[in-house]
Amino acid sequence: MRRRPWTTLAVVVMATFQVAMTLSVVFVVFVDLDDYFPEASSAQLSWAINAFSIVLASTVVLGSAVADRYGRKRVAVSGSLVFALGSIIAGTAPNIAVLILGRCVQALGAAAYGPASLALVLDAFPFERRGIAIGVFTMGGAFAAGSGPALGGVIVDNLGWRWAFLVVVPIGIIAAAIGAAVWEESEETKTDRLPDPLGSVLILTGVGLVVLAVVQSKSWGWADVRTALSALAGIALVGALLRRSGRHARPTLDLSLFRHPTFRAGSASFCVFAMSFFSMTFAAVLYLTEVWEYDLDAAGLLAAPFFLATGVTGPFAGRLVDRFGPRPVALTGTIVWATVITVLAVTIGEERNIGVWLTLLVTAGVGSGLYWGAAPTLSVEGLDGPRFAAASGINQTLQNVGSAFAIAIAITLLGDDPSRSDFTPVFVVVVLAGIVTALTVSTASSRQEGSSVTRP
């Protein structure tokens, strides 16, 4: 029996705020870290971002299984508190190593909280209302992400980068306390089995080694034996993961989900669009500070409308999904995204042009909002409720793998002191990944596509 769905959603959005805000504020923090740790290269500092993505990618499926076994409510509350602990470690870090450790702890909290929280929302709403619920969920996360650059710029400039992490701690603790009181446990989803722990190790080391090869390629050189060995070893470990997942009784990645064509297309699009979205996010902040030479306050404010447009579009995208199905909404979003970024890349130069910047970035945010608002529904359409957490875990794994590679590629292309010309190949990557996402989404099928009748 479903009770208090909107209360459940409201508290989930509140707890999600600390995670989503940190995801965007770290791009502003990255600029200040370069001054605080002058001995570290951009490649080394990038691990303050990528450590989170890689650890999250390797543990989020395990987190979804833990939620199935011990209860989504219990795991969501615990995950929110662990994330807050990671924020404290990162915010008080005396050196870059401890900062990276704090980011890893944050990732463990997000791995527990993320799949469980989305499953709580999906389970609280009837099928025909999940589109608008996901839209509101997306709006809350995007609003938090949108406030990250603006608040982060003010916080970093006035209080220092540490407070960009510490400011979210009370939010996570309060949300966990309220969630413990209002969220409902889903007893019927519990399982006695946990996935293969070696699979998580294979994801962590495999993806980590390939990312290492990419971010170090500029200093090591692509022909260097260290680059080649790191990349080959990482690819081999990912291959071993897929083989093991295909044979293990309780695999880290449930490959049987990929037999469903809509899930296959939807989950693949998560990875590719994440590469496009996070490459652009990272490049946008650096463009403002390095090419147009804005301070962090101004750069944060000028980047915020991009995220806010994504958030405002979320509920609207949800209503469109409820009416037309997820595929046309996600497809429209990716087409808008790729088109607008193309126009942005050929329009802006070394001279400041705020009118063009804001117009195009807000429009791109609308495109990404349409995609992010529809993609979760697209990937789980047709799946049984007990598989929502596992499907969500795989989606978040692929999204974070895409995010890790996005930052690695952007760091490699931009280098330590980027000029306007260095951003051109980044824009090319963003556009191409957007086009590939559109092609991937177009292969998905939707039970409701082309009909205005609500889903059964």
State the pLDDT at residue 385: 62
Q: pTM for this one? A: 0.81
Task: Check if the beta carbon of residue 165 is closer than 8 Å to that of residue 148.
Answer: no
> pLDDT tens track of the chain, all 456 residues?
446 888 888 888 888 888 888 877 888 888 788 778 887 777 778 888 888 888 888 887 788 778 877 888 889 999 999 999 999 999 999 888 899 999 999 999 998 888 788 778 877 887 777 777 876 776 777 677 767 777 888 888 888 889 989 988 999 999 999 988 888 876 555 555 677 788 888 988 998 899 889 888 877 888 889 999 999 999 999 999 989 988 887 787 788 888 888 888 888 999 999 999 989 988 998 899 899 999 888 888 898 888 788 878 877 887 888 788 888 999 999 999 999 999 999 999 999 999 999 999 999 999 998 998 888 888 877 676 656 667 777 887 888 889 888 988 898 888 777 888 999 999 999 999 999 999 999 887 654 443 332 333
State the pLDDT at residue 109: 94
- The owner of tokens 């692929």 is 398
Domain ranges of the chain: 5-195+252-442, 196-250
- CATH number of this structure's domain 5-195+252-442, picked from the four choices 1.20.120.1200, 3.40.50.720, 1.10.150.20, 1.20.1250.20: 1.20.1250.20
